Amino acid sequence: MAKLDEKLIALIGSKNTILTLSTVDAKGEVSSTVLPEAGVDEEGRLVLYEQLETSQATRDLTYALWFGKKVALTLLSEIGESFVIKGIPYRDIIVGPAFEEKYRELTAADPESELAGIWIVDPTDIYEDTLTVRRRLEREQFPELGHLDKDFIG
């Protein structure tokens, strides 16, 4: 299991972070959805809250848990830093105290809210995806790439 550091844990929990979940279904069809929130549990696993039973994310997370497939959570911070955390769903909590506590929290904020499942995901890979960082790394590792005019001095 890949370890999420303090910075990432804080970013995942920040209301100012945009979170996007990418999944694949049994036929290889890709889907993506913005998550209102996510968290990290005491064991360092991602915690995703899926509100709708009918959502593609619910189906795809189930598929991923069943067959050991990965899903990806992309984080975009308020200052433009971006990270991708890939992982394999480990558990879908549909009953019990944690589920009911979250359900009560959601419905207290919006009585029409629903909760279909709390997904616990084991992080497997973590990448920094911020464009400036990736550009710097590409130039370091692949100095032969990039447009010729960048190096042209006349």
Partner 1 sequence: MAIQIKIPDWREREDSIEKVIEHHPDVPIFTILKTDLHRRGYVLSAAARAKIDVNIHHTNGIHLTGESDSTTVEGLVLRDGTLVCNGCVSDDEVVLRDPYLIDVDENDRIVITDQGRIYEEAEFWRKPDYYDKVTSKGTPMWKVANVRGKRIDSELNKYCEFWDTPGDGCKYCGIGVYGVQEKKCGHQLRVDPDDLAETLQEALKQKGRFLQFNATQGSLLGGAKLLDDELELCLDSLVRIKKLFSRFPLKASLVTTALDGQQLERLRDEGGIGIYTANIEVLNKELFQWICPGKARHIGYDGWKGRLEEAVSIFGKGNVYTDIIGGLELATPHGFKTEDEALESVLKEADLLSQKGIQVVDFVWRVYQNTIFKNQVSPSLDYYVRLSQGISALHDAYGLNNYSRDYARSGNQPSGDLDRIRRRSELGKIG
Shortest CB 49 distance to partner 1, Å:
12
How many CB atoms lie under 10 A from the CB of residue 87? Answer: 24
Is 96 a binding residue for partner 1 by CB under 8 A? The answer is yes
Q: Is residue 30 at the binding interface for partner 1, with CB under 8 A as the rule?
A: no
**CA 107 → CA 93, 110, 111, 115, distances in Å?**
18, 5, 4, 9
Cα angle 95, 103, 83 (rounded to 5 degrees) comes to 95
Nearer Cβ to partner 1 (80/97): 97
Q: What are phi and psi of 100, to 5 degrees?
A: -65, -35
Task: Examine residue 107 and tell whether it contacts partner 1 (CB under 8 A).
Answer: yes
25 binds partner 1 (CB under 8 A): yes
Query: Is 70 exposed, middle or buried, given 0-12, 13-18 or 19+ CB atoms closer than 10 A?
Result: middle
Nearer to partner 1 by Cβ, of 25 and 128: the residue is 25
Q: Could you tell me the smallest distance in angstroms from the CB atom of residue 74 to partner 1?
A: 21
Residues contributing to the site for partner 1 (CB under 8 A): 25-26, 53-55, 59-60, 62-63, 65-67, 90-97, 99-100, 102-104, 107, 115, 117
